[in-house]
Chains A and B, each alone.
Chain A
């Protein structure tokens, strides 16, 4: 199913999406991210970011066009096959509140293993050990942190736990949706450096969505969603994309 050699990590072609009864919020001719590439997708809130991520994550189906990840056309798959694909090949980091409040730090990190056998297999031996390794790589090596309720962590720490979870089991694509917007400037750089280096180690593709242009220098490429999305330009209804 997955062309592991040449196909781009992310390919969107002729993509059109509209919420029922509304004008289109996404209208993209072509957008692609190569394997291992780290791309900053820049766009103000309301430019259709969430909708685009929904389409790439396979929770939304486009009205027209194609979304292919790793060579598999997920927009043509059934809903449950898309769910499985997402669980196996994508890692998500959100803006905030990434963690399940009633699970421990470590349990949050190894959560994807419950829903994706492929990622469990990829981890190989000990899930917990791999979780600890990732947390340590992201600067959360302190052992007493692991047993604490996640609600007691600082936002910066929570985002690192979320990053560790996204990276667990080595998914090919990491999608980060404004993960640094609630961090201060130093923490932002720190977080990004650690995320980047871990992506590099694992060979993951990173699609990083942010309105913050100051981070551009850290990425291979910066794409403006405003330029990409014809719907965003043409329509006067930015609110619909939120």
Chain B
């Protein structure tokens, strides 16, 4: 029987303490690994908010500002992009498609986006995922609307529900476009992105509902244009808030970005979504680093619990050590015995922690995807995960040196004397 087997038998003799120690380490490892998995999922989910879009173009402001209002529906545009500039860029031979976005109105706290059918065709998120209709179809009529999953769920809308769009972004707005009600014609599947909280209408519809408005106030009753009358008008917008660009060749993206940023007739800004998303994540990602640090401290607490358990056992095991010495065990055997013990406790704890973590991932995955749009990756441990787990075990071995050193010293001073 070698020293490792001896350590294992000794642990089995103290099963309750050993199991508790393993349990504490397992829970702490579950937390650590869970935080890491969630963190990766959140980061990837964040970076995947929009994909397949090469450039986002808006009036010149800041990179993050443009990203926030164009993609996350947060904040406001400071200025618009003129329809002429948009048309000029959209018709550029290197541009394959564009998705215009017109913001500024809302419906019961959810933002309304005026866009075109291109939106449903070209918008991608989470890699290659397309927008899918849970019910209905894209808008075709002027007063059609397509709503995101959250909008449908929270407000209880289905296809054919009638909705009134409010002027401005306030949750409670007194200025309603009540003379031009919309019909919900489509409900989108959940995406885990801000699209879930968006009401989509046609670009012309945005023009139509504002046709008799000036400076944020609707014209007095005499000068109003009815919903039906509006259909006959030219509903080409004068300006849009922003637009997304898909290039024919990715290689041209930077050239186009520079061209747009240097566009003379109007101050415009073109951003590459991936770059801007990474920049934004660096801002909001601090929270998950903090969470990771907390989890690391919990693991440290678990390992200190193990240290306490082993140190406590040492005194009652002095006899065991003396017996081992009498049959020829060297102090280094005693040292190895205790370090091995720490290593075994930690390894068992890590293994149990990984098992619990994956169990939880599989158990909660449907819920997380449905409710929060977090797509956890259930595939194996990444190299980084393994490095984290390895660090836990190595730390345990290092911590195990403390009781091992104590026992080593005891062994030298006790010799063969068996203290009762």
Contacts and interface: CB of A to CB of B under 8 A. Distances in A.
14 contacts: A50-B417, A53-B416, A80-B332, A86-B328, A87-B329, A96-B418, A97-B418, A100-B323, A102-B12, A102-B13, A112-B328, A115-B327, A115-B330, A115-B333
Contacts of B3: 114
A60 B415 contact: yes
B327 A165 contact: yes
A87 B331 CA distance: 13
A54 B320 CA distance: 17
B418 A94 contact: yes
Nearest to B418: A94
A179 to B, nearest CB: 12
A107 B226 CA distance: 97
B416 A92 contact: yes
A8 B245 CA distance: 99
Contact of B320 (A86, A101, A165): A101
Contacts of B333: 115
Interface in B379-420: 412, 415-418, 420
Given A103-B1, A114-B327, 6 more contacts: A54-B417, A83-B330, A86-B328, A94-B418, A95-B418, A103-B9
Contact of A97 (B1, B2, B319): B319
Contacts of A103: 1, 9
A80 B415 contact: no
Most A C-beta atoms less than 10 A away, residue of B323, B329, B332, B417: B323
A102 B3 CA distance: 14
A72 interface: no
A97 B320 CA distance: 9
Nearest to B1: A114
A112 B9 contact: no
Given A100-B320, A114-B1, A84 B328 contact: yes
Most A C-beta atoms less than 10 A away, residue of B328, B333, B415: B328
B12 to A, nearest CB: 6
A99 interface: yes
A99 B324 CA distance: 10
Contact of B415 (A59, A98, A116): A59
B330 A92 contact: no
Nearest to A87: B328
Given A80-B330, A114-B6, A115-B329, A100 B324 contact: yes
A48 interface: no
B82 interface: no
B85 interface: no
A88 interface: yes
Contacts of A88: 328
B416 A101 contact: no
B363 to A, nearest CB: 37
Most A C-beta atoms less than 10 A away, residue of B13, B324, B329, B416: B416
Contact of A92 (B9, B13, B326): B326
Contacts of B6: 114
B329 A83 contact: yes
Given A53-B416, A60-B415, A98 B327 contact: no
